[in-house]
Amino acid sequence: MRPSPIFLALVALTAVGGVLAWLAGTSVRPMSYAGVFIFVIGGWLVSLCLHEFGHAATAWRFGDHDQEVRGYLTLDPRRYAHPGLSLLLPMVFIALGGIGLPGAAVYVRTWFMSPTRRTLVSLAGPAANLLLAVLLLTLTRLLFDPEHWVLWAGVAFLGFLQIMAVILNLLPIPGLDGYDAVEPHLSPETQRAVAPAKQYGVFILLFLLLAPAVGQWLYALTAWFFDFSGVPHLLASAGNSLTRFWSRWF
């Protein structure tokens, strides 16, 4: 199955942002802000598609050949649940708070799978984010050029967001991947009791993130994992500032 034209357009848009950031070199000017903003937001949307593709591809591998799953495998973001909650809201959170909020959703049939396979389907999405984080931060570590630090700041920040996405997705909150991974191993009674709360998972997470202590914990834990990459925090922080350029004045 071929990737959808919309997904390819998102990849192209991300590449355009990367080129603008590269051309900006070391200077902080409108091109720098535009390039990093486009690169990070475009890259984040691409990562959302790859996250959901991970779920769908694993479910397909384990026997869910439903027509809807086939559509998910095209990486078309329109296939992934509600566009407002699934795509727009995570973009807003990155823009306003630099938080890699989980987004999108696929509906796969796992009832006939073994508990282990159901867990693997749930973990496949965060695994895609983890692989992206490793790729982005490894490239930054190996290829960083101070003459083009603007671009690498954006790459480092996008890698930082991927780590944050892994952490948030793995929280054992009903409706998120972390809970879905353990749900098959819970008693049927517990599953039935928790099931009504799954539709509110994102809202529960949003409520928690409103607490300053939770936000501080999230950033600290993300930074702790980020340290393993060997990429300086300052570079990711610069990427955050360039992405959220208006925060310099507000």
Nearest to 96 by CA among 240, 198, 213: 240
Distance CA(155)–CA(244), nearest Å, equals 14
Which two tokens mark 130?
């983890």
Short-list 231, 226, 223, CA closest to 143: 231
Q: What is the DSSP string of 180-219?
A: HHHGGGS-HHHHHHHGGGGGGHHHHHHHHHTSHHHHHHHH
Q: Give the active site residue among 52, 68, 147, 189.
A: 52
Catalytic status, residue 183? no
Type of residue numbered 76: D
Q: Hey, what amino acid is at 41?
A: I
Report the chain's terminal Cα–Cα distance, integer Å: 46
Known catalytic residues? 52
